[in-house]
């Protein structure tokens, strides 16, 4: 997979933060790839922003404004949310299914698994 320089920097930041929070870096990087192409497409139609496409509700206590995006804050929040989901749902597969819209769970899980293989 060919990544541009921004994607490479984002991938490295995700990997480092994943180790700090004891989250599989392949999983976290793959979620970010599905969500934002590793930070390249950071605006969604639903108003979510950032590398992990965290909602305004999820981010409200961590930032004063979503306009001035801070990728490191987005990455930390996304990884901590993955950690919460993993604790709650016990497996990467089930946690992944709960990171996305309920109507897209199987499709979303397949995409994340595909990227996990590509990033190995």
5-40 pLDDT, tens digit per residue, is 999 999 999 999 999 999 999 999 999 999 999 988
Residue range(s) defining the domain that contains residue 49: 5-119
Instruction: Give φ, ψ of 70 to 5 degrees.
Output: -120, 105
Distance CA(36)–CA(84), nearest Å, equals 20
Q: Is the pLDDT of residue 61 over 70?
A: no
The model's pTM is 0.87
Helix, strand, coil share (%) of the chain residues, nearest 5: 60, 0, 35
Q: Is the pLDDT of residue 65 over 70?
A: no
- Report the domain count for the chain: 1
Q: What is the CATH number of the domain that holds 34?
A: 1.10.530.10
């Amino acid at each position: 997979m060919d990544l541009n320089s921004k994607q490479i920097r984002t991938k490295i930041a995700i990997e480092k933060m994943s180790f700090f929070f004891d989250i599989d870096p392949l999983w976290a990087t793959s979620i970010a790839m599905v969500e934002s192409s590793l930070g390249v497409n950071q605006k969604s139609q639903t108003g979510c922003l950032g590398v992990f496409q965290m909602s305004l509700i999820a981010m409200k206590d961590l930032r004063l404004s979503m306009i001035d995006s801070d990728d490191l804050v987005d990455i930390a929040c996304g990884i901590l949310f993955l950690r919460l989901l993993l604790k709650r749902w016990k497996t990467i597969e089930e946690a992944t299914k709960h990171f996305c819209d309920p109507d897209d769970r199987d499709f979303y899980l397949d995409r994340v698994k595909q990227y996990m293989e590509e990033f190995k």
